[in-house]
Amino acid sequence: MEMEQLVALCKRRGFLFQSSEIYGGLNGFWDYGPMGVELKRNIRDAWWHDMVTSHNELDISPGAPSTYEMTGLDCTIIMHPQVWKCSGHYDLFHDFMIDCRESKRRYRYDQVNGRWVEGKGKRAFVTTGAVSDEERQEDVQRKALKLFGLRAKHVDQLQWDGPMVSLTTLDDDFAEVLGPDAKTLGTLTEPREFNLMFKTYIGALGGEESVAFLRPETAQGIFVNFKNVLDSTRVKLPFGIAQVGKSFRNEITPRNFTFRSREFEQMEIEFFCHPDSSPDWYTYWRDRRYQWYLDLGLARERLQLRDHDPEELSHYSCGTADIEYAFPFMAAGEFGELEGIAHRGDFDLRSHMEGKLVRQGDELVVEEGEDGKPRHRGSGRDLQYYDDQTKERFTPHVIEPSAGADRATLAFLCEAYQEDEVPNEKGKLTKRVYMKFHPRLAPVKAAVFPLVRKDGMPEVAKEIYGQLKTQHNVFYDEKGAVGRRYRRQDEIGTPFCITVDGQTLTDGTVTIRDRDTLEQWRIKKEDCLAELTKRLTGG
């Protein structure tokens, strides 16, 4: 599947629109249309149901080290600015950027790649912003020829020196560097830091005193409410707090449809446990979250669980794994992150007690400013846990499965897109596009059609529709040829279509059609609700 086909279908069928499209759109922002909003809601609901509400805290779940409890929260998007100072986001949540003085464009330092090359006795490091290896090589070669004033047929006069490498591997002297969109050498500036948090102002005054940030993750709202949850419920360790909500990052290069957006939704769990059992809980959550995507239909050959190498780990993490999907816009063999599962130790709770932490040898210590005082002071509140059975007091360790609702939606959209050939009304084979969503995720669960708009068929169909509507999101359609109505439903991924026809009026049965197999069979019209419910729930 080409990404363009999916993007076109998403617009045509109301899954996704560019934000503020009538004004030319806004880069990195996307709106969910009537079908998209249902799909994303179903993903969020499936996540919340499977992780929180359906969890039975009395039984040991398969693979879990013990029983555990789950609960939820819904925090504000704007929080006290000190939250981000202690979490590290204020100082550390940034990308390095370089500007091009010639093209006036800005690039993420680590996303610019290039090769050393010589031609006509001159030497340059020619860069590209292209994503795939093949595009990079083509782009660099084209630019090198142009730079040295050579024609394509003289490509063998280019002498390459070493492989394609990141610009970050060079010294900061860019005098011999050709920027990705420049025609002359040495136009790139030195890398500069750029914080990814969106800034805003609280109240009417608007000075530095009133600066606040839109949250870049939902996780911190959970940490700062840890004590509130403990005190207001009877939860005992181990337990998890889940939250779903919007996050905002001023991404330098939003790209690949919704994959990297500036406003997006996260589905995060902070799971608090005893330090001794935390490695086992890390393994449990990592495997459980991987299985969740498989259960909802992502293909195993496109989904991978990748444990981070030790050098990739954050300074506080004892283990992190990413669940990654082979999105169609990635180069062959490359995967994009859907969710990270991190063992965060006691870093977060300690940060909000003591102040921003830094690693010193094997220890995490409060970072000090030049005055010897904490660089960012913590809340001073006691966020430790007291176990009244063992009489032990300790700071719990945290396992964090952190998923993106929009990335999951995009992966399920990519996975669902299918094409086949089916006979039309005249028996001629024609191309069909259909979205093979898991029934739990499908935006519309069934469509009800009268074959024709006469002979009492619409009346029967409307009655069935009314019954189904009480429990499922169903769609009624009586306009146009029935074949075209089927195709419309296939394109939005409706698993079943129920049709009232001439036979219904004589024997009270209707046809039910399966989206994927195109199989049709007859059931009694009064059994429609039970049949649909059974098929949707796999019963």
Which C-beta is closer to ligand GAP: that of 15 or that of 148? 15
Give me the least distance between CB of 371 and ligand GAP, in Å please: 31
Contact 488, 479 (CB under 8 A): no
Give me the least distance between CB of 77 and ligand GAP, in Å please: 14
Which C-beta is closer to ligand GAP: that of 264 or that of 347? 264
Distance between CA atoms of 303 and 293, rounded to whole angstroms?
8
Give SS3 for 49: helix
Which C-beta is closer to ligand GAP: that of 68 or that of 293? 293
Distance between CA atoms of 93 and 83, rounded to whole angstroms?
13
Nearest to 218 by CA among 94, 40, 403: 403
Give me the least distance between CB of 247 and ligand GAP, in Å please: 7
Give me the least distance between CB of 504 and ligand GAP, in Å please: 47
Give me the least distance between CB of 133 and ligand GAP, in Å please: 24
Give me the least distance between CB of 257 and ligand GAP, in Å please: 10
Give me the least distance between CB of 503 and ligand GAP, in Å please: 49
Give me the least distance between CB of 28 and ligand GAP, in Å please: 8
Give me the least distance between CB of 261 and ligand GAP, in Å please: 4
> Which H/E stretch holds residue 331?
none
Which C-beta is closer to ligand GAP: that of 407 or that of 515? 407
Angle at 52 between CA 50 and CA 57, to 5 degrees: 105
Measured between alpha carbons, how far is residue 536 from residues 233, 472, 494 in Å?
Answer: 35, 10, 11
Give me the least distance between CB of 149 and ligand GAP, in Å please: 41
Which C-beta is closer to ligand GAP: that of 268 or that of 346? 268
Residue with the shortest CB distance to ligand GAP: 404
In the chain, what are the helix, strand and coil shares in percent, each to the nearest 5? 35, 30, 35
Distance between CA atoms of 310 and 319, rounded to whole angstroms?
8
User: Which DSSP state fits 472?
Assistant: S
Which C-beta is closer to ligand GAP: that of 39 or that of 500? 39
In sequence order, which residues have a C-beta less than 8 Å from that of residue 219 and are 6 or more positions away?
A: 243, 266, 268, 270, 348, 400, 402
251 CB neighbour count, 10 Å cutoff: 17
Which C-beta is closer to ligand GAP: that of 18 or that of 509? 18
Q: Which two tokens stand for residue 113?
A: 């790649």
Which C-beta is closer to ligand GAP: that of 141 or that of 266? 266
Which C-beta is closer to ligand GAP: that of 129 or that of 254? 254
If you compute the radius of gyration of the chain from its CA atoms, what whole number of angstroms results? 28
Distance between CA atoms of 322 and 477, rounded to whole angstroms?
43
The sign of the torsion formed by the CA atoms of 335, 292, 237, 77 equals positive
The sign of the torsion formed by the CA atoms of 422, 423, 428, 433 equals negative
Which C-beta is closer to ligand GAP: that of 342 or that of 383? 342
The sign of the torsion formed by the CA atoms of 52, 320, 216, 380 equals positive
> Which H/E stretch holds residue 94?
strand 94-99
Give me the least distance between CB of 343 and ligand GAP, in Å please: 12
Nearest to 458 by CA among 436, 479, 439: 479
Which C-beta is closer to ligand GAP: that of 72 or that of 186? 72
Please report, as ranges, the residues that interact with ligand GAP according to CB under 6 A. Answer: 217, 219, 249, 251, 260-261, 264, 266, 268, 337-340, 400, 402-404, 406-407
Q: List, in sequence order, every residue forming a beta bridge with 500; answer none if it has no partner.
A: 450
Burial class (CB in 10 A: 0-12, 13-18, 19+), 513: buried
Contact 452, 500 (CB under 8 A): no
Give me the least distance between CB of 220 and ligand GAP, in Å please: 8
Which C-beta is closer to ligand GAP: that of 81 or that of 245? 245
Which C-beta is closer to ligand GAP: that of 252 or that of 364? 252
Give me the least distance between CB of 218 and ligand GAP, in Å please: 7
Q: What is the end-to-end Cα distance of the chain in Å, rounded?
A: 32
Kindly report the backbone phi and psi dihedral angles of residue 165, in degrees, each rounded to the nearest multiple of 5, phi listed first.
Answer: -135, 165
User: Which DSSP state fits 43?
Assistant: H
